[in-house]
Structures are given as structure tokens and as C-alpha cells.
Structure 1
């Protein structure tokens, strides 16, 4: 799943975002610019040009645009191969014009960088490398082979060899640097966009689950009295219908189904209620709720909660925000996935901050990945032991990115370390030597009673459907 999503955003599918109409418009701009440059050079500066061949090259571009307009709808989006052919055609057409007008002696040779930059921004690495290699080859050929620029007096406009070489070197460097820069930045933007989209989807899903649990719990509360009445009435009927076994059986069935409805509503309502009191929960309850899906996955999850220092600071009641629950759940899932047998969830609090540490007894974070922890789509080559230990893990880092983004949105600061690091200060237990993730909130940001956003008191509000 992760691999397929990545391919959607990087390269082949990304190129299909470009409309044919956009490239046609850009080509019209280039055609107008080429005609203007040739006209000014010939009429104003009296440069002798092969006008017939120049206008033939421009005419081919015009015909290509007109053909595309007639054959394809305006909203057509180009495939990877079609985009590649369009960019390659523009590169070859521009190179032919430069061949006719002095090669690298022509200052407009700088425009050869344009098709490479476009390719790097919207196409795959393979297509970009091909376009860049073609551009470098054409630049090298144009430095040696071209028709000279001549004035009306017959003088040839040529650069000194050292300047021509410098111009060639600058062109090659620009093609390589701008191509690599554009491709890298574009890939980063797209991967971040996809990761943020996944984050919003995860948060929306958690919010919907919370709201759904609230609706069900409220329904269970409201239906509790009618169901109790039905059960009481059916019990009385059972006692009074001893002489009517057929009706007594029906009354027993009614009581049984009333009990069943009560059990179903109770089970469905465990996720929470849309109740002012349940918009908050003790810190330990929120942690246990986040860890619940991963308790019975074959690893031992240990909880350790208490105030810091000698002070008797009461356990805080914090906001039950979906982003907090989902973020902690992702971190605990990550720890359970990589733990050998044990995961520790430590919660500490003071009067001004709340700290949660999630530690496992696995191998910890790879040392070379510390600078990129929390980035979306982090890849690294997996060993055979990694695949056996966690075959479903794709190593994309998206889950950790979602957790980090959601928790930081709630005001938390995250730190990452390994228990084997002698200089880490996140935990002081020598037996907890795996990966460590520390989440720290200023208490006023999540305290549901005395913080910046306390849960209001009063009557519960009705559901808005």
C-alpha cells in the first residue's frame, strides 16, 4: 500500500497532472519570443540569418500546436511518455534554432535549461536524466558545430575560445544543478503534501470514531429507561402467564431481546460519549485508551504513571483530543512492532508540564536516520531479518510523521533517542535500551480543568444532526 501510494506522487503519475493546454500555451509564448528575437536581430541589428530554415523550425512548432489543439480536448492531461516527448521536441527544436543562429555564441542558448527544469519538476527521475543528458550532449555539439552569426558587413560574431568554454561549462552546470534542485524540491513538496493529506484523513477518521462513539453512548443512555421498563413489564408478564405457556414464551423472548439490546448498546458505547464530562479524562485513561488496540499483540505493555519529584501534584485531567489519542496510538504501535518483548509507557507530570515516554526493548532507531525521524516516506534498505521481524512494515515513516504532526498540533514537543546512548537523558532505566520517544506538553495547553481551554461546565448540549 505504501509503495503504491508513493509511486502515485513521485514521477509517473505526477506527470499526468500537467494539462496539454498548459504546454501548448507555453509553446505559443516561446514561438512568439522566437519570432520576435529573429525579427529584431535581422531588422534592427542587421544580423544575417538563414531565415527560411529558422521559420521552418518555428513553423514545425506552430504545426505541432495546431495539431494538438485539433486532435485532443483542452482538458487532456499528458501521460509520462507524452510529457517526455513534448519536452524532448521543444529541446530539439530550440537546439536546431541555436544551430542556425550561432550556437553557444547566441545568448539565447541559456534557454536550453528550461526544458530540463520542466522535466525535473513534473516527471520521473528516469525521464529527467534522459532529458538532461540530451541537453548536455546538444550543448556540447552546439559549442563546436553551428552556423556563424554574420553582420551585414560580413563580420563573424564569435566569442573567444575561453569565453566559449566558460559558457559551455556554465550551461552544463546549470542543467545539472537546476535539474537536480527542481526535481528534489518538487519531490519534497509532493511527498509532504501526500503525508499531510494522510494526516488530515487520520485525524478526520479519529474524530468521526469519537463522534460516533458519543452518539451511540448517548443513545444507550436515552434508551436505558425504556429498555428497563420493557424488561420489568415482561418479567411481570412471565409471572402472570403460568397458565398460558405460549404467551409466557413470547414474554420471555421479549425480555431476552431487551437484554440483548442493552448489551449491544453498552458494547457500542464504550468508545466514549458526547458528554461534557467525557471531553476530558485522566491522563492515565487517555494513555490506556490509545494503547488498547495493541495490548494483546504478543508484547508486554507496561504502564508507569506518577508525579515528578516529592510534590503531591494531582494527576491531570486532560482534553480527549482525537489528535492526542491517534498520535500516541501510532507511537505505541511503532514501539510494539519493533519491541522484542516489552514496551514501557511512562507518564509524569508536574504543575507546569506533562511528559510521556514510550520505550521498547528492540534495537532502537538506526543511527544514520536520526536526522530524518519524523519525515514522511523515509526509505532505507531492509535486511532479511527486518522482513522476518516485521513483514508488513514498508519502512516509509508515514505513521511516525502522522503521529509527530498530530501531537505537535496539540502543542507537544517530541524527542527521539536510543536507550543505548550513554548521553541520552530521556530515561534512566538501564534495562530499557531500545527506541525512546518523549512527548512533552506545557500543562496549560492540554489541562482540561485549569488550562487555556478548559472543558465548560453545565448541561450537555443536544446532538446536531
Structure 2
């Protein structure tokens, strides 16, 4: 620009060759960045050295320190101070200072008069103004982008720390649940023996109503023993060690049937819209995750609960709806955190907290919102890749793996 507008005699061909070399280096740097591997400090340092070298050559060909654009060295120093660590920063300072010193002694003369008293009529002052504007704009751009990246990094670190804390909390709860299961085993067995004696007692056999109540108590005690046994069997097991092969629709159908059979709710609507069945791996953890959400819905709405299963291109979406009062705003803002609940009782909020952690482990998510009229909606999204078995040459039909899906 200076060569054509100010009619300054500059070695344009040599300067364009230097720019071409820098363009090639930038292309190589872009390809390196797209590999996805982390950029090391030494790589950033070398990249800045290339920039300093290109600027030095350009200044050498255009007047050295008499060129107003010599202050672009400050930009290299500022970028290095923000990106580099330790001795690399001071090395950049020393190298740029040495380049400035060398340019003051050796350079191609620039036929440009230093007459700042003419103000903007002086080409030198105009060059200083342009240099200042370039430095200011690039400073703002670089610092804004770097600050944005630092905020993103801090947010990721905070999220990782929060997740580590939650996982530690889950481990503690698992240990407590395992210990409680051990402790409950003995009293449950004692109650089962006593109920068996009562059922056979001649004095009690004459009372049919009491016999029905004893039978119901035996069923409930047996259910408690089954739950305790399940806790003890799954304690410490990784996903997959106690898993079973089934199909998505069979898993959902049996899950809905089991929940409806063991819980009381006036109206339970189950709608399986998954479509073409696919083989999958299921375990008690997946089932309990959905049970936790359904139990919360039943607690909020004993009259009506709905379970809807759908399939997107890459995920299984399970939606649980209720007709209760919905989530308070403060609960929605902290949804999924432990002990955040509208029930107002000790231990509240752990069911949704555990459900969210299970879904997150599988690469999915749990989201909640309130319905427009009344009630709440909790949506569980699970990637199909994390639960569905890969296709095999010897394909099995859904009926081979489990019963076909249904609506209740």
C-alpha cells in the first residue's frame, strides 16, 4: 500500500515472497491444529518466533527502526505474555529487543522523512496512526478470544469438579445402601419366619380377614428381601457384569408392567412408540433409573402418571408426565442436584440425582420442565449407541429376544 499510494521505493517482490512463506506456514499450522492434539508451549513459542522473524525481515526491507510499524513487536510480546509460560516469555522479549537493536544498525534505507510536526500531512505520522490502530484492534481481538477460552476452560474445570463431587457422593450412598441392606437382612428374615408361624397358627387360621392380611404382609416382606438381595448383588458391580440381553421394547414393556404391579396409582398410561425393535443390554441400574423418575411422578400425582417411549435418529427418549403441582422455579434451576426437592423431607431429591448420574454415565441426559396446564414432564435421553447391541450376521427378530411391545 505504501509503495503504490505514497510512491515509496520498496523491494515489493522480496517482501511478497516473505508474505508467501508466512502464508505457507499458516496453512501448515492450521493442518496441525485440526489434528485435535493439544498445542504445547514449545509449539506456540516457535510459531511466535516465525512471526517475529517475518516481521524483522519486512522491517529490514523497509527502513528498519525508521519504519513506524516497528512497534508491531509489542504485539508479539503481548501475545507471548498471554499464551506462554516461564522462560518462553522472557525469551521472546530478549529476541524482539535484539531484533530491534540489529534493525537500528542494518536495514534497507526507507526514503521517508521524519517530520511529525506536520501532523496528518506527514506520511510518517500516518504510518504511526495505522500502526497504533492495528495494535489496538489486534490487542482487543486476541485478548477477547483468549479471555473467552479461559472462561470456557474454567467452566469445564468447575463442571469436572462438580461431577467428581457428585460421583463421590454416589459412591458414599452406594456404600451406605450396601451396609443398610446387610443390616436389614436379619430383621426381614425374622419377620418372614414369624409371619409363617402366624399363617399356620390354628387360632389365627379361623380369621379369614387376618389370614389375607398376613398373606399380604408376606408378599411385601418377600419384596423387601428381593430388593435387599438386588442391592447386595449389584453393590460394587460395573455395568455389564449383571446385565441381560433383551430388546428395547421388551425392556420397556416389562419395566412398565413391573412398576404398575408394585405401585399404586389411579391411572397409569404407557405408550411405547419406539418403532422397530432392536436388541439391547439392560440391567437393574437402567430399570431403577426409570423407576426413580416414575416414583417421583407418582408422589406428586397419585391420580395420573404417564410413561411415553420414543425413538429419535440416535437416542431412546423416555418421557414421564404427571398431573401434580409441577416443579417450583428454584427446584428447576437446580434440577438433578442432591437434596433439592419440593417434598420437604429428609433425603428428598436423591432419586432424580441418581437418575441423572446414571444417564450421564451412558452419555445421556435428564431434563425437567413444567406442563402448560399443570404437572411436570421429565425427559430421559439415552444414546442408542450406549444401550443397543451391534448388528450381527445372524440376525434375530424381536420375537426371538422378547415379547413384542404393547400399550397399557
TM-score if structure 1 supplies the norm length? 0.35
The higher relative CO (CA closer than 8 Å, separation ≥ 6) is in 1
TM-score if structure 2 supplies the norm length? 0.38
